[in-house]
Amino acid sequence: MAGRAAEPEVIWARPERTGRGPRPAYTRADIAAAAVRIADAEGLDAVSMRRVAAELGCGTMSLYNYVPRKEDLYELMVDAAGGEHELWEPGGDWRADMLRVAHQSRALMHRHPWLPRLMSPVYGFSPNALRYLEHCLACLDPLPAPYGTKLELIAMLNGIVTTYVTNELATAERTRSLPWSQEQENAMRIAYLGGRIATGEYPRMAAAFAQDAGPIDLEAVFERALGRMLDGFEPRR
């Protein structure tokens, strides 16, 4: 994290092929597809340079001819997933179009649960990220606002989608991976929280848990969050 100095270039700036020497055995798309296949099937932690090389059928170190650092492999993966975004002709209702964008991003992240973890550097300017950004701007054409505001809207939307899907995935993961049932998990959680609450130090949390104990509809929560966020950009305020 600290002492890297040699090659700070972003991978999209270097050409995939220079024309000299033997032609490469694999394309970036091949490599990204292999990594995505592994991550989808076995989780992001299973994506190692050795494992991807094995999946491709080449030596481990050969991979470094295509991908100078592992971080760049991640960038390839994010770009490949971004390529699955379906881009349509905007219909003139920016709110509806942005909601559709958000739901599609959410579906994409549920299909590739490793995606949110790799999205922290927000803007990598990969080819598909540029296409996505341009499409969002096209959806926002009907909104009377400067481009700066539109970019802020897009950033905020992406942030909310990432945040909420991360939460959804963590919840699902907990539910699935534990050897107990969902009820046992909830019972244990309530027992622990109940013990803390019983101290009387947290009267409002006690009231909150007494008020609604039913299971929460995460999709509805997501929908409400989106709506509230988009409200903040309505021009007639």
Residue 233 binds which of its own copies, DNA, none (CB < 5-8 A, kind-dependent): its own copies
181 binds DNA (CB under 7 A): no
In terms of CB distance, is 25 or 111 closer to its own copies?
111
The residues, ordered by sequence, that sit 6+ positions from 38 with a Cβ below 8 Å of its Cβ are: 46, 47, 51, 52, 55
Task: Tell which positions 12-41 bind DNA, by CB under 7 A.
Answer: 17-26
Provide the mask over 35-74, with x wherever binding to its own copies is found by CB under 8 A and - wherever it is not.
-------xxxxx----------------------------
From 4, 20, 23, 236, residue interacting with its own copies (rule: CB under 8 A) = 4
From 40, 55, 64, 193, residue interacting with DNA (rule: CB under 7 A) = 64
Please count the other Cβ atoms lying within 10 Å of the Cβ belonging to residue 171.
Answer: 12
Task: Tell which positions 138-177 bind its own copies, by CB under 8 A.
Answer: 138, 141, 146-148, 150-152, 155-156, 159-160, 162-164, 166-167, 170, 177
Do 106 and 165 contact (CB within 8 A), yes or no?
Answer: yes
Element (H, E) at 177: helix 147-177
By CB atoms closer than 10 A (0-12, 13-18, 19+), residue 105 is buried
Question: In residues, how long is the chain?
Answer: 237
Q: Please compute Rg for the chain using Cα positions.
A: 22
Q: Applying CB under 7 A, which residues contact DNA?
A: 17-26, 46-51, 58-62, 64-66, 69-71
